[in-house]
Amino acid sequence: HNIIIKFNKNDPSIEETNIQHLPFNLLYNGFARVSNYLKVSEKQSSIGNKTHLYSAFRGVKLVGEKLEVPEGFQGYIFRDENQDSIEDNDHVDNKEHDSAPVNKQWEAISKFNDLTYWNRETIPSDFDKPVQALKSLNILAMVNKEISIEDIENEVNSNKENNKGSSNTTTKTTIQSTPTKTTITTTTTTSTST
């Protein structure tokens, strides 16, 4: 399968939307007037300074929390442009069609800066999957951040400053840089007197 994503973050037709992540499957995926279905009340948590949201849907008590998309990120909702034509042809039994690779074309249809996720009768916690997913974005950004030679030299100098005054410790750092890679060798020698 190939996925082609059509996306222009400056497209004025991509409007802000309100995302509700429910803890069950509705057999519906799309826009809905949330205010018609969820009557939400807020209550300050006795633990920490979080505000929890309370509602019910079809007799199920829901407890939720609003999550902000981390700084430097933007949430988008995509739609498969071909989904309607695929659903229209579901009744066709064509072996040649089944073996051919399917190209999916996704287009951005809305964006969001926060989302509300709901648990079934359970107070939200930092260990819930939506919270962990958003936290992982910050971790991934830091792991994939490009490190410059300046950053390395600053770290080396910082280590040297931390070791000043300790006459028994010697640190030697060598930085070798080529267009394709940078090699850093740090040797720390500590001598003890008896």
Q: Using one digit for the tens of pLDDT, what is the confidence trace for 91-121?
A: 444 555 556 667 889 999 999 999 999 999 9
User: What's residue 27's pLDDT?
Assistant: 85
- pLDDT tens, residue by residue, 128-187: 999 999 989 888 877 877 878 888 888 878 877 766 655 566 666 677 766 666 677 767
pLDDT at residue 193, as a whole number: 56
Amino acid symbol at 22 = L
Cβ(65)–Cβ(114) under 8 Å? no
3-state secondary structure (DSSP) of residue 91: coil
Query: CA 51 → CA 43, 64, 116, 157, distances in Å?
Result: 6, 9, 12, 44
Does residue 65 surpass a pLDDT of 90? yes
* Rounded Cα gap, residues 16 and 77, in angstroms: 10
The domains of the chain, with CATH numbers, are 2-125 (2.40.128.680)
CA dist list (Å): 143 to 72, 158, 177: 15, 21, 21
